[in-house]
């Protein structure tokens, strides 16, 4: 494996680690939200869900830029990125 993909792998692993932390924080906040009437716990859940999605989006961007060698731009780049990640590419991203 060349250094480009080793770097990509390392960055994806780092993002996944951060995504896992978001999941754990959201779970803890959800438990507290159910036990408490304090809306701050729901705010914490929402923030961590947003961070979770943003982390996935960063992973997708890394893949798009380093494997597909493309970068979505424009006002609907989020949608284009999701479409790109869902597209089957024989021998690269099979389904």
31 within a domain of the structure (yes/no): yes
Residues 9-42: pLDDT tens digits? 999 999 999 999 999 999 999 999 999 989 999 9
Q: Tens of pLDDT along 60-77?
A: 999 999 988 888 888 999
Largest Cα–Cα distance in the chain? 53
CA–CA distance, 79 with 53 (Å, rounded to integer): 13
Residue 61 is part of which domain span? Answer: 3-86
Q: Tell whether the model's pLDDT for residue 47 goes beyond 80.
A: yes
Average pLDDT over residues 1-10: 88
Give domain status of residue 65, yes or no.
yes
Q: Is the pLDDT of residue 44 over 70?
A: yes
Asked whether residue 95 is assigned to any structural domain, the reply reads: no
DSSP string over 30-66: HHHHHH---HHHHHHHHHHHHHHHHHHHHHHHHHHHH
Q: Is residue 94 in some structural domain?
A: no
Domain count, the chain: 1
**How much is the pTM?**
0.85
Residue 92 belongs to a domain? no
Domain for residue 93, yes or no? Answer: no
């Amino acid at each position: 494996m060349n250094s480009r993909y080793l770097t990509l792998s390392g960055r994806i692993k780092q993002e996944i680690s951060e995504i896992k932390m978001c999941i754990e924080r959201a779970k803890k906040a959800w438990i507290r939200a159910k036990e408490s009437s304090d809306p701050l716990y729901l705010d914490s859940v929402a923030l961590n869900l947003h961070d979770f999605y943003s982390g996935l989006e960063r992973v997708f961007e890394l893949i798009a830029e380093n494997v597909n060698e493309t970068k979505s731009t424009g006002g609907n780049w989020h949608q284009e990125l999701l479409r790109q990640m869902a597209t089957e590419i024989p021998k690269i991203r099979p389904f």
